[in-house]
Amino acid sequence: MKLEAVDFNADNAAELFVESLRETGFGVLRNHPIQQKMVDDIYTSWQAFFDSEEKNNFVYNKGTQDGFFPSTVSEVAKGHKKKDIKEYFHYYPWGQCPAHLKQQLADYYAAAGNLAETLLGWVEQYSPEDVSKLYSQTLSSMVENSEQTLLRVLHYPPLKGDEEPDAIRAAAHEDINLLTILPAANEPGLQVKGKDGNWIDVPCDFGNLIVNIGDMLQEASGGYFPSTTHRVINPQGADQTKSRISLPLFLHPNPDVVLSERHTAKSYLQERLRELGVI
């Protein structure tokens, strides 16, 4: 399996990109409209947030899931026992956020959300007819004005050596949502599982944008678009002393959107969050 970056501005970008999503569950874009400076500035200011005690004033609300998730409550991936070695912050436009960091995230959220709607349009355009007839409405309209779309700022702290033996930064999992948009992180570690079961490094070149299918799009497309398993492995050697910051935007449909005969977006999300043990 190969994961090659698609030039966002190429004539056949949409086709190549959707082909990659279909084949691997992942697509990598270069020359895309998200400014790298915006991403870098967020990495810098949020590293400072995670390094400060201030974060403890923003502990997440259980009911609404916004705010800071300390490493002590961090997710246990479906089917795993050990907690991931990470802490993170869930930003929603309506949710809690330190005042001095809010504008920066709001700007990024809007820019990445816009791009995501374009990419959903591409997916729609290149869905074969027997797949698109399964969509209860257009994919881009599923997320239009959605208040559920989630921006997660993730901090994987340096390893101290006292981690539990099997714990890793992010254990193998699939994303719950429709589509995830992820700028290349400041350190490597993200891997995707190929059809043959081997783990493949996701190209993390500076400025790349990584997009992957989540379970909701797999559900809505009757399995045509695969929600591919991925993980973040621990650094080795000198890199163990480095933090890693990443910034996935999880596109979530409006709660009443019908995904399939079995599920609305709301019923699907509730089921998955219960399995994760965060509600």
Ligand X SMILES: O=C(O)CCC(=O)C(=O)O
Contact flag: residue 174 with ligand X (CB under 6 A): no
Output 5 or 170, the one with its CB closest to Fe ion.
170
Binding pattern to ligand X, positions 235-254, x when CB under 6 A? -----------x-x------
For the bound state, the minimum distance from the C-beta of residue 12 to ligand X, rounded and expressed in Å, comes to 27
How many C-beta atoms surround the C-beta of residue 26 within 10 A? 23
Contact by Cβ (8 Å): 6, 29: yes
Q: Give the residues lining the site for Fe ion (CB under 5 A).
A: 175
C-beta of residue 27 within 8 angstroms of C-beta of residue 4:
no
Spell out a b/e string for 51-77, using b for 16 or more CB atoms within 10 Å of the CB, else e: eeeebeebebeeeebbbbbeeeebbbb
Q: Which two tokens stand for residue 69?
A: 């998730």
Closest to ligand X by CB, 84 or 219: 84
Binding ligand X by CB under 6 A: which of 175, 208, 220, 252? 175
Q: Output the smallest distance, CB 210 to ligand X, in A.
A: 8
Q: Which residue is nearest to ligand X (CB)?
A: 246
Burial of 11 (0-12, 13-18, 19+ CB in 10 A): exposed
Q: Looking at beta carbons only, is 143 or 232 nearer to ligand X?
A: 232
Among 28, 101, 115, 154, binds ligand X (CB under 6 A): 154
Residue 194 CB coordination number (10 Å) = 16
Closer to ligand X by Cβ: residue 74 or 136: 74
Handedness of CA 29, 26, 256, 151 (dihedral sign): negative
Place of tokens 């935007």: 249
232 binds, among ligand X, Fe ion, none (CB under 5 to 8 A by kind): ligand X
Q: How far is the CB of 30 from ligand X (least distance, A)?
A: 17
Among ligand X, Fe ion, none, the one that 176 touches (CB under a kind-dependent 5 to 8 A) is none
Q: Measured from the CB atom, is 25 or 253 closer to Fe ion?
A: 25
Q: Is the dihedral of CA 103, 104, 107, 113 positive or negative?
A: negative
Interface with ligand X (CB under 6 A): 152, 154, 170, 175, 182, 185, 190, 230, 232, 246, 248
